[in-house]
Amino acid sequence: MDPTRRDMLKGMAIAGFAKAVPGAQAAPIGPVPSSFSSIDDIFEHSIIIDDISGFDPKPLLPDAGFSVVKESGITIVGPTLGEVVPEKAFQDTVKEIGKAAADVSRYPDRMLFIRNFSDIEKAKREKKLGVLINVQNSACIERDLKNLDLFYDLGLRQIQLTFNWRNWVGDGCTERTQAGLSYYGVDMVHRMNELGMIVDVGHTGYQSTLDAVEVSGKPIVYSHTNCKALCDHPRNKTDDQIKALARKGGVIGLSCFNWFVSDKPRSTLEDLLNHFDHAAKLVGPEFIGIGSDFSVAGWAGREPDAEWESHKYIYGEREWKQLKGRFPPYIDEVNGPRRYRTIAEGLQKRGWKVNDIAKVLGLNFIRVYKEVLAA
């Protein structure tokens, strides 16, 4: 990209970001309780996190659409920004970070850009929606680790090392080979550790995932995936990958995506809850979270539409077949803002303790965020 164009894009994003994240910081709240009496108590006093989700304010709607945020009980969302195609990744990611910052600055009484751990506490205290942005492919960093610093300055705090295919960092989950992280990938993980960025391998291939767990000096996340033992899908993680993550204190965010949950035409809530049970039996409830892979409002279309075609567009025919792509992508019972309460109530019916449900709803991610992000 032309250097002048690159500098201009960066300047635009920084200008929007500066408005969204004023320097004054309120005093942090005390620690979130570790013991809860009921699910209602969790939603009232704990922090609810969806590590891969998003919310777009809609100015033309009553209350700009924020009613779905209130209904969900969510505290922190993790929207994925920018193109995954390498040729477009840098430019598009800078532009989308600028747009996200502009959305936050338009609603300063409703939203808060998350730069550090104290911002998460502030979001809960002030009853705002915290926005912890991420990208689904580190291709936006290109082949220059200095770009990590640039994107950190713009507010990026979580990076998925690869998308489904190979990049300069390592192999994605649908690659023919699974060679693991490159030296450049190892260097990227180390620099992310130094900066205070969350290493994410939601789409990353088998060996690259294990390598990232091993070389990272801090816990990492599998932001939105499920258990391969229950659904043999290339995006899902094996038992040994989940155990490796837990040994290093990381968190697996379980997804509500139909294809990752079962091979049925339409997965159900019970199919999804089976993944929570499996992971808990494998490593305990301390290493499980939610990465629904849907906006807070859910997937609006009930038939294949323009959004569906746009979703399919990024995949080639071979990859689409590997991913077992089919409509609908959603699971009916959790396709909406009440998904977090639905999951919590489902787990409670299966005998889960309330305090363990609180960990899944957010406290496990909080542990990782506290260790990785700056104070």
- Bridge pairing between strands 49-50 and 288-290: unpaired
HSE, side-chain direction, 13 A CA sphere, residue 231: 29
Question: How many percent of the chain have pLDDT more than 90?
Answer: 86
- Whether residue 57 lies inside any domain: the answer is yes
Residue 11 lies in a domain: no
pLDDT tens digits, one per residue of 297-311: 999 999 999 989 988
Please count the residues of the chain.
375
pLDDT score recorded for residue 28: 41
**The CATH number of the domain where 315 resides is what?**
3.20.20.140
- Per-residue model confidence as pLDDT tens digits over 306-344: 989 988 888 888 899 999 999 999 999 999 999 999 999
Lowest mean per-residue pLDDT among 103-107, 168-172, 312-316, 324-328: 312-316
Report yes or no on 26 lying in a domain.
Answer: no
What is residue 14's predicted lDDT score, i.e. its pLDDT?
54
How confident is the model at residue 350, as a pLDDT?
98
Q: Report CA-CA distances (Å) from 288 to 6, 30, 59, 275, 297.
A: 39, 24, 35, 10, 22
Grouping H, G, I as helix, E, B as strand and the rest as coil, residue 12 is: helix
Residue 58 has pLDDT above 70, yes or no: yes
- Amino acid of residue 244: A
- Give per-residue pLDDT as tens, 194-248: 999 999 999 999 999 999 999 999 999 999 999 999 999 999 999 999 999 999 9
Bridge partners of 198, per DSSP, are 158
191 alpha carbon, distance to own chain's centre? 20
Closest CA to 273 of 347, 335, 339: 347
Mean pLDDT of the chain: 92
23 inside domain: no
- Any domain includes 116: yes
Reduced to 3 states (helix: H, G, I; strand: E, B; else coil), residue 353 is coil
Opening angle at CA 253, ends 252 and 254, nearest 5 = 110
Partners of 127 in beta bridges: none
Q: Which residues of 343-361 are buried (b: 16+ CB within 10 A; e: fewer)?
A: bbebbeeeebebbbbbbbb
The pLDDT of residue 7 is 58
Residue 62's pLDDT band (cuts 50, 70, 90): confident
- What is d(CA 206, CA 209) in angstroms, rounded to the nearest whole number? 5
Give dist(CA 349, CA 351) in Å, integer: 5
pLDDT in the model for residue 13: 52
| Predicted pLDDT of residue 323 | 94
Q: What is the mean pLDDT of residues 125-149?
A: 97
The confidence score (pLDDT) of residue 34 equals: 78
Rg (CA), the chain: 19
Q: Is the pLDDT of residue 23 over 80?
A: no
Q: Is residue 17 part of a domain?
A: no
**pLDDT of res. 30:** 53
Q: For the residues of 204-246, what is the DSSP string, one character each? A: B-HHHHHHHHHH-SS--EEEEE-BTTTS--TTSB-HHHHHHHH
Q: How much is the pLDDT for 1?
A: 54
Burial readout 66-78 (b: 16 or more C-beta within 10 A, e: otherwise)? bebbeebbbbbbb
CB 18 within 8 A of CB 168: no
- Helix intervals (H) in the chain: 3-20, 39-45, 67-72, 86-106, 117-125, 146-153, 183-195, 206-215, 239-247, 258-261, 269-283, 306-313, 317-322, 339-349, 354-358, 364-372
Judge whether 10 lies within some domain.
no
Question: What local confidence, expressed as pLDDT, does residue 20 receive?
Answer: 54
Provide the residue range defining the domain that includes 75.
Answer: 40-372
**Number of domains, the chain:** 1
155 compared with 33, residue with greater pLDDT: 155
pLDDT score, position 349:
98
Note the pLDDT of residue 15: 53
Please check whether residue 27 lies inside any domain of the structure.
no
